[in-house]
Amino acid sequence: MAKVKITGHASGSGVITVTAPNTSTDRTITLPDSTGTLLDTTSGLDATKLSGNLPAISAASLTNVPKDVTVGGRKNMIINGAMKVAQRGTSTTDGNGYGVDRFRGNVANMDNLVVALTQNSVTDLPQFTKSLKVTTNTAESAIAANEYYRVFQQIESQDCQQFAYGTSSAKSVTISFWVKSSITGTYALSVYADASAGTRIIGGTYAIGSANTWEKKTITLAGDTGRVMDNDNTEGFRINWIMAAGTDYTSANNTSWGAYASNKLAYGQGTNAVITTANATWEVTGVQLELGSVATDFEYRSYGEELALCQRYCQVWAEAGDALCVAGKGQGSTAIDFLWPLAVPLRASPTVSQTGSGWRAFRPTANLVQSSATPTVTRFGGTHPFLGLRSSSYPSSSFTNNYVTNIGPHGLSKFIFDSEL
């Protein structure tokens, strides 16, 4: 039989009855000042055994519980943070291009620099399979005062309203990411908060301590009480990862929110060697932006969901033949107007670019005709998943005005509908 030892309170006179549990382990139980049913402290509390009025619990009295974290729903405001989606292609040597969706490179005044932005396969970081990798193919010999290189992502202002910027309730946000580089040192990260009343900026730094080793970095930024964000589909927030910057961009302190000035872009940048060293690399994955002052575990989304989020800003149609055909109508005798289906509604009327053979029109009473001209947008559906396009520059007298004609991509054609911020 288990033994029970009770030590009475010196000033107490009440009688307390205790039933011992069936255990061979010594237990210590502290009794309350009122009648109740208790469980031993090693097995925890059963909510069905609690009665009476419980004391209020505030977040401030708890440890390791982040404040301002949304419970349920999405917490990560970054799109494609795991670098899984690359609609435009998995590699580009355009320093201002996209290696993966939503993450764009940006070079300023570097005429000699050639970098490759690549969707890289990751094998040495168990949580992730892809990264955005920057490789310096042709290096700058030195960084002039007016030069910089960065990678950035932009977020719509209407998606940033929970920040409550411009009010006394402005909330802190935390940026976390995994980074690996062949170059150790201190790197700058800055953030823009855009509004029609003017752009604001704040920044921080992170250090890469070991070359070619994944390291997790966390930067928490205070809320901005100084300016209200717009609430529309324009840019509201931009995160800049700086890889090199001249003195025109590093001379002014940006550790607290203030009006944007270009000399605050890369304050604290300690090394430019990624850009001045041939074959140097910098790569990132697992990027998360969330409310609060604590970096929580990365929020994974399915590939299909991530792709749909990316397609609000860019959609790519790659045609391997004459498989798709839609109905259109003659616009005069050398052009066709038609509706083109979209995967999801785009953020705004897009810029259209194309490579390959272009378009073919299939006429009901004559041979097909072809045009290599890039179509123009004639109608943007807003929340509707279609675009009105006009394909032109066909041979004279190809069509009858307002008569139905079928049209479709021809051959190995690729069309990009770009609606990025």
The verdict on residue 338 lying in a domain is: yes
**Does any domain span residue 397?**
yes
Domains held by the chain: number: 2
pTM above 0.95, yes or no: no
pLDDT reported for residue 411: 80
Quick one: pLDDT at residue 410? 85
Domain that holds residue 397: 312-418
> pLDDT-based confidence at 74, cuts 50/70/90?
confident
Residue 118 CA to chain centroid, in angstroms?
17
Do 264 and 379 sit in the same domain of this protein? no
The span from the CA of 107 to the CA of 63, in Å, is: 43
What pLDDT is attached to residue 344? 97
- Mean pLDDT of the region 228-238: 97
Structure tokens at 81: 């943070």
The distance between the two most distant Cα atoms of the chain, rounded to a whole number of Å, is 109
pLDDT tens string 395-415:
999 999 999 999 999 888 899
Coil/strand/helix, residue 123: coil
50 vs 35: CA distance, rounded Å: 11
Task: Return the pLDDT at 28.
Answer: 65
Q: Is residue 21 part of a domain?
A: no
Looking at the fold, whether 241 and 326 belong to one and the same domain comes out as no
Residue 71, pLDDT score: 43
Interatomic CA distance for residues 157 and 195, integer angstroms: 8
**Given this model, what pLDDT does residue 216 score?**
98
In this prediction, residue 342 carries a pLDDT of 96
Alpha helices in 302-395 (DSSP H): 303-310
Q: Which of 4-8, 315-319, 344-348, 358-362 is modeled with the greatest confidence?
A: 344-348
Report the DSSP pairing between strands 412-418 and 314-320.
antiparallel
Q: What does the pLDDT look like over 80-118, one tens digit per residue?
A: 999 999 999 999 999 999 999 999 999 999 999 999 999
In whole angstroms, what is the distance from residue 200 CA to residue 181 CA?
29
Residue 240 belongs to domain with CATH number: 2.60.120.260
Domain's final residue, options 309, 340, 368: 309
Same domain, 149 and 112: yes
Whether residues 185 and 115 fall in one domain: yes
- pLDDT score for 103: 98
Res 412: pLDDT: 84
122 inside domain? yes
Query: Residues 364, 299: one domain?
Result: no
**Same domain, yes or no, for 221 and 236?**
yes
Residue 165 has pLDDT above 70, yes or no: yes
- List, for residues 205-225, the tens digit of each pLDDT value: 999 999 999 999 999 999 999
Q: Residue 33 burial (CB < 10 Å; 0-12/13-18/19+)? A: exposed
Same domain, 294 and 340: no
Q: How many CB atoms are closer than 10 A to CB 397? A: 10
More confident residue, 389 or 18: 389
Q: pLDDT tens, 243-295?
A: 999 999 999 999 999 999 999 999 999 999 999 999 999 999 999 999 999 99
